[in-house]
Amino acid sequence: MKKIAILNGPNLDRLGKREPEIYGSVTLEGLEQALRAEFAAQAQLDFFQSNHEGALIDRIASLADAKFDGLVINGGAFTHTSVALRDALLGAHLPTIEVHISNIYKREDFRHTSLTAPACLAVITGLGLEGYHAAVRFLLKS
C-alpha cells in the first residue's frame, strides 16, 4: 500500500468558510473524509495543514525521511512567494503534484507564477476539490 501525504498551506484550514464562491463550501475535514473514503483500500493517506511556512518545510523533510511514495501539495499563497518551500520540495525527492482549487490563471496576476511548480511532476489547477482526487489517482498509478 502506497503512503501518500496531502499538505495544505495557509488559510486552507478555512475551507468552507473563506470565500466559498471561489473555494466552495466543503471544509478541509470534509475533503479529508472524501479522500479517505475513495482511497482507503489503496493508500495510507497522511494529512497536514499549517499556516506556517517552516512547519510545512519540516513536514516535507519528515515525509522524505519516512519514505513516503508521493505528495500532494496545495501551498496556498506560499506557492507564489516561497523559495524555501520550493527548495524543500526539490530536496525531498518525492513525486509531488501541486494542486490549486481555483484556476490561478483566471485570478490576480501575482497568482500566475508558481515558484514551487518546477519542483513538482505536475500542476492541477481549477478543478475544485476534484484536483486532490486526481492527484492521488495519478500518484497511485506512478
Among the listed residues 26, 15, 119, 16, the one whose alpha carbon sits nearest the alpha carbon of residue 71? 119
Q: Note whether 135 and 96 are within 8 A (CB).
A: no
∠ CA 92-60-107, rounded to 5°: 100
Active-site amino acid positions? 23, 100
